[in-house]
Structure 1
Amino acid sequence: MNFCPRSRGRPRCQQAALSREQIIERAFVAFAEQTYEQVSLRALAKECGISDSLLHHHFGSKQQLWQEAADNYIAPLMATLTTNLETLAANDRPAQALRQNLPQSLKNMVSNTAALAFIFREGDQNNERSDYLRQRYMRPYLNRLDALFNQAVLDGDFRPIPPAARHVLIMGFLRSMVIPAHLQDELAPHLSSPEQTHALIDHIALLLLHGFSQSSPPLLGATTHVQ
């Protein structure tokens, strides 16, 4: 569906109007680059070459447009991550599947910087949108990772580490890729090219997996914890 506004007494516009998918794409980029509150539907409509009333007519509220953007761009990314994880889990021990999946998933996520920014723009908030992302997209994937991790613990391959500790390490690293804050200077050389970024991810994954491994030295003050 194309949106081409037509004013009374004027011929239909000659330029090709943006499709619904193109408008959602521009909305997705806007929500990734700015906070939800900063995104202006009027400015977005102007950028798309349509009236803000037409934008409201076809997409409803800003919240509805945000959700369509999430469903169009976050859903495929998480589906890819889940499919890759299940393929590895079906063909190897849980620990080995996780060893292969962690660097692979991190690289997939980091290569989608707009999706990461979209997620973490809302991740710092406690609202309907952040809850939607967590419950619909992030939590099912993390739950599957946790199930494989727990099986790897039972197999004697991984040490028991609280889920919160694992999630903080992984999600904290991903957040630093799009919102580096005080690490901006340190991370800049590693983000200068895909090769440099992948090398950094390999180092991070190696450190995490070494810490998870049962053969690693015990963590200072660590307690047995499986959940």
Structure 2
Amino acid sequence: MQERKQGRRSAEAAEQTKCDILHAAADMFAEQGFERVSLRNISDKAGVSHSLIRHHFGSKEQIWQAISDGMDDFMQRYIAAILEYLPESYTSAQRVYHFLSYMSAFTLVHPRPIQFIADAVRQDDDALLRYFLRSKDEFSAAFSSLFDEYNRDNPEKPVDMWEMKWQMLQTVHAATSLRPMMAETWPECEGDHDKLLLKHWSLYNRIIAIQLDISADEMIKVDSLDSLLFDVPCHV
């Protein structure tokens, strides 16, 4: 019995160590980019030995892939949570509008996925980008029915799912890559990043509301983007 308990504690400790390594590496990859981060950097930040990292993951690429896998799993569960929340009483336009509003709020507050995509695009070798995008068809299948339903209901004003996704990616990436410019645009919020993100999201929110003929009364109005986030456990 004692041996089983010790074995269980050892396994739990190993999983916690792996989790600590992934958290440290994810922060560094997002902030500095894949090329500028070394296994030694990760071991220093995680507070573990270089050899232990190699024992658990083998290489920097495998750590990056493990983080990408974790993001993939989380985002699929997050999308599912949004879709489950959307009331059946909503029109198809309202459902698409709310889905995009919730997704954009999450990616603005938690920009790590868009930072990973942007960094993968910058690599000379497209292996990271291909790995990150390997499940794009599975992702699109999860919410494509929203856009199909909207287009059936609004044949006179159809929307393209991929164009709207691209529009959202541009919006989110701008908040990360051009962050200082937000304070130039909304100087009254300078020094308060949360308020700047809310202003940035509100601009996007108005644009998609116009595209989908969402009235001013139907538009989402919040004082904080945190109120638009869903409680989905994150494993990385």
- Do they superpose with TM above 0.5? yes
Letter in 2 for 1:71: D
Q: Which deviates the most, 166-175 or 189-198? A: 189-198
Letter in 1 for 2:22: I
Contact 2:57 2:63 in 1 (8 A): yes
User: Is 2:17 the counterpart of 1:19?
Assistant: yes
The equivalent residue for 1:13 is none
Q: Residues 200 and 181 (structure 1 numbering): CA distance in 2 closer, same or farther, change over 3 Å? A: closer
Counterpart CA distance in 2 for 1:84 and 1:158 is: 27
The equivalent residue for 1:194 is 194
Counterpart CA distance in 1 for 2:180 and 2:196 is: 20
Contact 1:98 1:149 in 2 (8 A): yes
Q: Which deviates the most, 151-160 or 93-102? A: 151-160
Letter in 2 for 1:211: Q
Query: Secondary structure of 1:19's partner?
Result: helix
Query: Secondary structure of 2:86's partner?
Result: helix
Q: Residues 161 and 186 (structure 1 numbering): CA distance in 2 closer, same or farther, change over 3 Å? A: farther
Contact 2:93 2:214 in 1 (8 A): no
Q: Residues 188 and 167 (structure 1 numbering): CA distance in 2 closer, same or farther, change over 3 Å? A: same
Counterpart CA distance in 1 for 2:28 and 2:141 is: 30
Counterpart CA distance in 1 for 2:148 and 2:156 is: 8
Per-residue CA deviation, residues 113-141 of structure 1 (Å, 9 max, x unaligned), is: 334323332245562222222232x5433
Per-residue CA deviation, residues 30-49 of structure 1 (Å, 9 max, x unaligned), is: 11112211110122113333
After the TM superposition, list the runs of 4 or more consecutive aligned residues in structure 1 that deviate by more than 6 angstroms. Answer: none
Contact 1:153 1:159 in 2 (8 A): yes
Contact 1:158 1:212 in 2 (8 A): no
Counterpart CA distance in 2 for 1:212 and 1:60 is: 48
Structure 1 unaligned residues grouped into runs of 5+: 4-17, 216-227
Deviation at 1:169, TM superposition (A): 1.1
Deviation at 1:214, TM superposition (A): 9.8
User: RCO (CA 8 Å, sep 6+): is it higher in 1 or 2?
Assistant: 2
What is the aligned-residue identity percentage?
21
User: Is 2:28 the counterpart of 1:55?
Assistant: no
Counterpart CA distance in 1 for 2:166 and 2:127 is: 22
Counterpart CA distance in 1 for 2:110 and 2:122 is: 19
Contact 1:119 1:133 in 2 (8 A): yes
Q: Residues 169 and 186 (structure 1 numbering): CA distance in 2 closer, same or farther, change over 3 Å? A: farther
- The structure with the larger Rg is 1
The equivalent residue for 1:81 is 79
TM-score, normalised to structure 1, is 0.73
Per-residue CA deviation, residues 176-222 of structure 1 (Å, 9 max, x unaligned), is: 1211279455457568342442243123122123124499xxxxxxx
The equivalent residue for 2:132 is 133
Query: Secondary structure of 1:31's partner?
Result: helix
CA RMSD of aligned residues (A): 3.1
Deviation at 1:162, TM superposition (A): 3.5
Counterpart CA distance in 1 for 2:156 and 2:52 is: 55
Q: Residues 101 and 214 (structure 1 numbering): CA distance in 2 closer, same or farther, change over 3 Å? A: closer
The equivalent residue for 1:70 is 68
Per-residue CA deviation, residues 23-64 of structure 1 (Å, 9 max, x unaligned), is: 110011111112211110122113333332221111112111
Counterpart CA distance in 2 for 1:23 and 1:105 is: 27
Counterpart CA distance in 2 for 1:29 and 1:123 is: 18
Letter in 2 for 1:95: A
TM-score, normalised to structure 2, is 0.70
The equivalent residue for 1:6 is none
Contact 2:25 2:42 in 1 (8 A): yes
User: Is 2:99 the counterpart of 1:101?
Assistant: yes
